[in-house]
Structure 1
Amino acid sequence: MEMQLSMVVLEVRDIHRSIEFYRQLGLDLPDPPAERPISIVRMGSGVSLLLVEGFAGTNDPTWQRPTGGYQQLLEFYAGKDAGVDAMWEKLTAAGHHGRMAPKQTQGPYAAMVDDPDGNVILLTSDEAARVDGEEGA
């Protein structure tokens, strides 16, 4: 069997605040059930994004939330350069920390914004990140 990435799990501080951020990004995350702080959406790429509050600390007694920096970037394809610009404006206008304004990098045209828990969201127009196979969206 081929190993495949099926889900990205983010341990969040405030499930409702995180859901709001990812909805602003364009994901259709459902509200969590009252008895369980979890929300999951399966994206067109086949990969699911799961937001959960309290799982790591409850199940791993050695877990500690990182206190600085970041170890990963979640890349979201935003279409053309104008899509990157528009999403940057939307998220930073909503008060989310802009880490890198839209610009042409050594690779793709891109921007970086922090989600409410400090995870870095890379917004890009890089066709290599495209999963639907259509050209020029």
Structure 2
Amino acid sequence: MGIKLDMIGIVVQDMKRALDFYRHLGLDIPESANGESHVEVAGEGVRLAFDTVEVAKGVYGGWEEPTGHRIELAFQCESADALNDLYEKLEKNGYEGCREPWDAFWGQRYAIVKDPDGNLISLFA
């Protein structure tokens, strides 16, 4: 029996605020999802899910606010210019940049931003 990564879940304090960030990244999420407590976005082979803290409490039997960086979500941009533009757009919309775009030693254009819940989100091209 094998396993397959099917879904990545993100626990959010404010669904609309979180979804707005991921919309700015380019994910197609209907505005009608803003009031939901669980939202899923289909990707290429993997779903991205968003759950409110209340849902997480029910699933996990409790909730402790996490601290520190534990996992990376990395989104591929179509080009270095597209990455630069996206990073600038996110900052202009009030999102926190953690590391401005740079040319990484491994050959990619790379940048890091924070989503509204403090998760580090990598952008690369």
**TM-score normalised to the size of structure 1?**
0.81
Task: Give every structure 1 segment of 4 or more consecutive aligned residues whose post-TM-superposition deviation is greater than 6 Å.
Answer: none
1:85 and 1:5 map into 2 onto residues whose CA distance is: 30
2:96 and 2:68 map into 1 onto residues whose CA distance is: 14
Supply the AA of the counterpart residue of 2:78.
G
Supply the AA of the counterpart residue of 2:33.
P
SS in structure 2 at match of 1:92: helix
SS in structure 2 at match of 1:32: helix
- 2:84 matches 1:71: no
| Cα shift at 1:77 | 0.4
Supply the AA of the counterpart residue of 2:27.
L
| Cα shift at 1:62 | 4.5
**Inter-CA distance 33–112: structure 2 relative to 1 (3 Å threshold):** closer
SS in structure 2 at match of 1:76: strand
Which residue number corresponds to residue 110 of structure 1? 110
Which residue number corresponds to residue 25 of structure 2? 25
1:118 and 1:101 map into 2 onto residues whose CA distance is: 17
Q: Which has the higher helix share?
A: 2
Which residue number corresponds to residue 122 of structure 1? 122
Supply the AA of the counterpart residue of 1:105.
A
Which residue number corresponds to residue 50 of structure 1? 49
SS in structure 2 at match of 1:112: strand
| Cα shift at 1:59 | 2.7
Structure 2: gaps of 5 or more residues: none
Which residue number corresponds to residue 5 of structure 1? 5
SS in structure 2 at match of 1:18: helix
How many residues are matched? Answer: 122
Asked if the contact 2:19/2:34 (under 8 Å) is kept, the reply is no
Question: What is the percent sequence identity of the aligned residues?
Answer: 32
| Cα shift at 1:33 | 7.6
Q: CA RMSD in A?
A: 1.6
